[in-house]
Amino acid sequence: MTAVLDYHQTTKHSFHRFARSLGYLDWAAQPDPFRRYDSAPRLPLPRAALRPDLPYTDLFTGAALAAPMDLPAVGELLRCAMGLSAWKQHQSSRWALRVNPSSGNLHPTESYIVWNGRVCHYAPREHQLEVRAELAAADRVNAGQESAPTAFLVGLTSILWREAWKYGERAFRYCQHDVGHAIGAFRFAASLLGWQMSLIDCADDEIGALLGTSRDQDYADAEREEPECLFLLTRDGHSTIDVSTLAADARSATWAGTANTLSRSHVEWPVIDDVADATRKGTKGKGDGEKGTELARSQGPREKGTDQAPAKLTARQTILQRRSALGFDAASPLPKAQFLSMLARLRPGPPPWDAIDWPPHVHLAIFVHRVDGLLPGLYFYVRDASARDELRAATNPDFLWEPTNDSNDSNDSNDSNLFLLVPTDVRFAANRLSCDQDIAADGFFSLGMIARLDSALRERGDWFYRRLYWECGLIGQVLYLEAEAAGARATGIGCFYDDPVHEALGLSGMTWQSLYHFSMGVPVDDGRLTSEPGYDGGW
Ligand SMILES: Cc1cc2nc3c(=O)[nH]c(=O)nc-3n(C[C@H](O)[C@H](O)[C@H](O)COP(=O)(O)O)c2cc1C
């Protein structure tokens, strides 16, 4: 077994044993949720709501006119992707929530921009840029000093320790989910501003050099950041940036700022170091690049039904009000048309799917509890029709695989990729399999994201392990927003019993593995918490 599959196997939760962790929370070592680069020059970002009236559905169509890539727009991008969404308080504890969700609200994902010749770290609490380096003028990104550029880069890194502090060995998985959510958050914020966004195929070493996270001298005892991904943002979809030249420039640039230490003590989890090492991306990946891009982006127009969701909220409101439900009312139903419309958002092609360069590897096993017009039961939603026969052959032979579209109903917009496997009450199973969490049973539905694992890693390389989680996080981010737009709420579920899920589906081996669970319903709030806006003035 490869190191990656070994990590995956080792970090499974089972009914009898959770993946290894401390087993208690060492509050004295709780990581600071905010990374700072002390002594780096600060660039306060404008606080202006741009595009406040853009309809929610325009996030998926690319209909917004492209904003200039100036400082106000960069500020709005960061605010709507990684900014603070609220401050919560219970008794003497006060904590920030963010626009992007994170397992345990630990926020391992840090974000950077390389904009107008500057490499900047985003400090969300202050809504400031920390200018880490100025690149040589010759390498400025498609721009003179005075004018706004027509393209720039967004980079993401993970501070693996933040999740490991609480979750131990399974934490690497959660960091990767969170990267996926952050990619989605950036893609939607870019859509709000009318910008294109696409993943750049480059080596992690280059990302580390460009963002400065490979600079030992700036970290001393501070927790390191793992380079994850780099995205090109453009106004026109055509501008390009030569990352290798910028990375070479960054290597010889003068850097400012040293990283703050987040915890006063640490616990070593060597399997996390090992899997991080094994999944680092070298140069251009096998099976990646042009072919993948073409596949991922050529899946044609969206299905009928995608725009059926009621879009009373604006795009910006929807993005900023996203929250995780703490519990559901165990009563309210979701209309079938709305459910199908949400699923259709997960088909490749339009944003946010144009940001990644591989075709769907993740499909959904759905526990339907309360969808009007559908029998309660276990369903499968196949995001890429070509995977259906393979999934059918891999799952329990007793499953019905009955199409759910009604051929006699011309209003039925179902694209027939949703199949009924077993009509039955699946509330107990959903709850039990998701670590006995009520949120998996009390909503409209919950689901397991079933990813093609070992063949994908064999074909592409172990680095693809991270991308499978990014795809899951992106699915989650779409569903989080869809829930808000439908007047409901969602919650990501990282805690589930891995192999019992596979057994329930009849899956064996490592070909298909559940990587993330998710739930949606009408929320019941915890009245003990008080809430304040993320920033003064509530902007
Ligand atoms: C990858 C991931 C896994 C999560 N797993 C769970 C879970 O198992 N149970 C749960 O109640 N919430 C879970 N959550 C929700 C987080 O606790 C929530 O995102 C975090 O507290 C921040 O709150 P917010 O989403 O309202 O901003 C998960 C979120 C993410 C992104």
Tens digits of residue pLDDT in 427-485:
999 999 999 999 999 999 999 999 999 999 999 999 999 999 999 999 999 999 999 99
Select from 324, 474, 480 the residue to mutate for testing ligand 1; criterion: most ligand atoms less than 8 Å from CB: 324
Atom of ligand 1 nearest to the CA of 496: 8
Q: Render pLDDT for 4-31 as a digit per residue (tens, 0 to 9).
A: 999 999 999 999 999 999 999 999 999 9
What is residue 4's three-state secondary structure?
A: helix
Atom of ligand 1 nearest to the CA of 104: 17
| Helix/strand/coil (H/E/C) assignment for every residue in 207-218 | HHHHHCCCCHHH
- Letter string b/e over residues 390-414, b meaning 16 or more CB atoms within 10 A of that residue's CB: ebbebbeeebeeeebeeeeeeebbb
Question: pLDDT tier at 306 (50, 70, 90 boundaries)?
Answer: very low
Question: pLDDT tier at 291 (50, 70, 90 boundaries)?
Answer: very low
What is residue 245's three-state secondary structure?
A: helix
Q: For ligand 1, say whether the CB of 437 is within 6 Å of any of its atoms.
A: yes
What is residue 119's three-state secondary structure?
A: strand
pLDDT value of residue 412: 55
Q: Render pLDDT for 229-246 as a digit per residue (tens, 0 to 9).
A: 999 999 988 899 999 999
Q: For ligand 1, say whether the CB of 178 is within 6 Å of any of its atoms.
A: yes
Tokens of 294: 């073409």
Nearest by Cα to 250 from 233, 230, 276: 230
Q: For ligand 1, say whether the CB of 105 is within 6 Å of any of its atoms.
A: yes
Work out the percent of the chain whose per-residue pLDDT is above 70.
91
Tokens of 101: 């969700």
For residue 427, the CA-to-ligand 1 centroid distance in Å is 20
Give the sheet arrangement for strand 402-403, strand by strand.
402-403, 418-423, 377-381, 362-368, 445-452, 512-521, 489-493
For residue 493, the CA-to-ligand 1 centroid distance in Å is 6
pLDDT value of residue 292: 38
Average pLDDT over residues 164-191: 98
- C-alpha to C-alpha distance for 353 and 366, rounded to whole angstroms: 21
Question: pLDDT tier at 367 (50, 70, 90 boundaries)?
Answer: very high
| DSSP state for residue 65 in the 8-state scheme | P
For residue 65, the CA-to-ligand 1 centroid distance in Å is 33
Q: Give the DSSP H or E segment for 341.
A: helix 336-344
- Which residues, listed in sequence order, are joined to residue 258 by a DSSP beta bridge? 38
Atom of ligand 1 nearest to the CA of 326: 11
Using CA atoms, how far residue 299 sits from 155, 345, 368, 419, in Å, is 27, 13, 27, 21
Q: Is 162 exposed, middle or buried (0-12, 13-18, 19+ CB in 10 A)?
A: buried
Contacts of 286 (CB under 8 A, 6+ apart): 459, 460, 461
Question: pLDDT tier at 351 (50, 70, 90 boundaries)?
Answer: very high
Q: Which of 96-100, 309-313, 385-389, 499-503 has the lowest mean pLDDT?
A: 309-313
For residue 328, the CA-to-ligand 1 centroid distance in Å is 14
Q: In this model, does residue 299 exceed pLDDT 90?
A: no
The mean of the pLDDT values for the chain is 92
